Structure 1
Amino acid sequence: MKNYFIERPRFPVHDFRRRFRMRRELFESILNAVVNHDHYFARRLDATGRQGLSPHQKLTSVFRILANRCSADSTDEYCRLAESTTIENLKRFCKAIEGIYGATYLRKPNREDLKRLIRKADKIGFPGMIGKFRYKVNGNRYELGYYLTDGIFVKSFSHPDSAKKKLFSQRQESYRKDVERAFGILQARWAIVRGAA
């Protein structure tokens, strides 16, 4: 608590952001949402009548695993949590995040989302980023949405021989760089994205 969470913490704001990969205000906002969603994270009395683990301890262990891709037992010295408690924290945290933010951020895009994404792609010069694919198999009609993303991006023309192909290549490469840059930032901030912990 003295390191980061009191009014005048031992370490400055930029250290908090480096360690947790987010601002302290965002950490506190997530902590409050998680505690209100699942009282497992609230501080309770243990079997001997003493104060149990704080919500800050529990979430600190979770964010250390997610941000630094460390093992559950490596948080015991700093957070004073057993490996099994840290794993339980992580599982409960993931379920809480899904329950709190799932309807907003972890859902399939609706028509308004698609329209917004199409407008954004059109605005930067890459129309058709999202589309529909219709086909028929064994008498059944299918209509599937698709995104042009890394791995299935249409390849640029290696030697564009017309103004239209040159423009397509330029815009496509620009958009692809944006996608790769965004994913690179995500990987740099959250080690868990680079591979399982």
Structure 2
Amino acid sequence: MQLWNDYFSEDATYPSHMFRRRFRMNKPLFMRIVDRLSAEISYFQQRRDATGRFGHSPLQKATAAIRMMAYGCPADAVDEYLRLGVITLFGDEYLRRPTPEDLQRLLDIGEIRGFPGMIGSIDCMHWEWKNCPTAWKCQYTRGSGKPTIVLEAIASQDLWIWHAFFGPPGTLNDINVLDRSPVFDDIFQGRAPKVNYIVNGHEYHLAYYLTDGIYPKWATFVQSISHPQGPKASLFANQQEAVRKDVERDFGVLQS
């Protein structure tokens, strides 16, 4: 009852912006997760105990799990259930590689935005590790003086992160992370989906990503022009830098 009065009643004690700060998501998204979990995962359903009394509600169970994730608390008590619930319900939608239909949609969006063959923008962000063990701090610290973990992501215009590589220590730069990343495993193993697009009358079969200047000059990366000369080069540079901000916008959403 206290939880309901604090966050979920019509005149809740804490307003919506406090809910977002404490749960790291807005209330409608949280309720969508609770509804799906309680409908399809038995652990999250409210049941009676041996004495006939009702146990914890789906709201209480989901709140405990989400708050542990949001604050980095020990989650041993619910970890196995949380992993089961989240992967069972949302894994097929979010924890997957793009299907041929997804790729075609990304290609269509890229062409509309002036980049035929583009399927997203790639970049890295550093996520502060507040509870980093003291013995590991030197391995994970650079620049800001605080230990961080690197997230490499590829994002599309609609904030879909369809590739995420999370875990390298914060002492690594984008190139070091790329060397360890599985992002091109499908290409190396010959399992990459075939794509077709035409630029300046030439047909290509390998999609590419927009990047900043630190990435290598590979066929799969298209960078801006650091010192554009002439209107065409300036237009390309401005457009590339604008579209590439998709992934940076995603990082901003994750950190908000």
Q: Verify same fold: TM over 0.5.
A: yes
Change (3 A) 1:50 1:181: same
Check the 8 A contact 1:42/1:55 in 2, yes or no: yes
Structure-2 residue corresponding to 1:148: 209
| 2:14 is equivalent to residue 11 of structure 1 | yes
- What CA distance in whole angstroms lies between the structure 2 residues aligned with 1:160 and 1:7? 56
Structure-1 residue corresponding to 2:134: none
Q: Which residues of structure 1 form unaligned runs of 5+?
A: 73-82, 190-197
Check the 8 A contact 2:208/2:222 in 1, yes or no: no
Letter in 2 for 1:97: V
- What CA distance in whole angstroms lies between the structure 1 residues aligned with 2:101 and 2:73? 40
Change (3 A) 1:14 1:157: closer
Structure-2 residue corresponding to 1:108: 97
Structure-1 residue corresponding to 2:73: 71
| 2:113 is equivalent to residue 124 of structure 1 | yes
TM-score by length of structure 1 reads: 0.69
1:161 is matched with which residue: 212, 218, 229?
229
Change (3 A) 1:104 1:143: closer
- SS of the equivalent of 2:6 reads coil
Displacement of 1:40 after TM fit?
A: 0.6
| 2:36 is equivalent to residue 39 of structure 1 | no
- SS of the equivalent of 2:36 reads helix
Displacement of 1:59 after TM fit?
A: 0.9
TM-score by length of structure 2 reads: 0.55
- What CA distance in whole angstroms lies between the structure 1 residues aligned with 2:208 and 2:41? 35
Check the 8 A contact 2:119/2:208 in 1, yes or no: yes
- What CA distance in whole angstroms lies between the structure 1 residues aligned with 2:224 and 2:76? 50
- What CA distance in whole angstroms lies between the structure 2 residues aligned with 1:63 and 1:149? 33
Change (3 A) 1:7 1:167: closer
Identity rate of aligned residues, in percent?
Answer: 41
Change (3 A) 1:24 1:181: closer
Bigger helix fraction: 1
- Structure number with the bigger relative contact order (C-alpha 8 A, sep ≥ 6) is 1
Displacement of 1:147 after TM fit?
A: 4.7
Letter in 2 for 1:109: P
Letter in 2 for 1:123: I
Bigger strand fraction: 2
Structure-1 residue corresponding to 2:197: none
**Backbone CA RMSD of aligned residues:** 3.1
- SS of the equivalent of 1:130 reads strand
- SS of the equivalent of 1:9 reads coil
Displacement of 1:47 after TM fit?
A: 4.2
Displacement of 1:33 after TM fit?
A: 0.5
User: 4+ residue runs of structure 1 moved beyond 6 angstroms?
Assistant: none
1:26 is matched with which residue: 23, 29, 35?
29
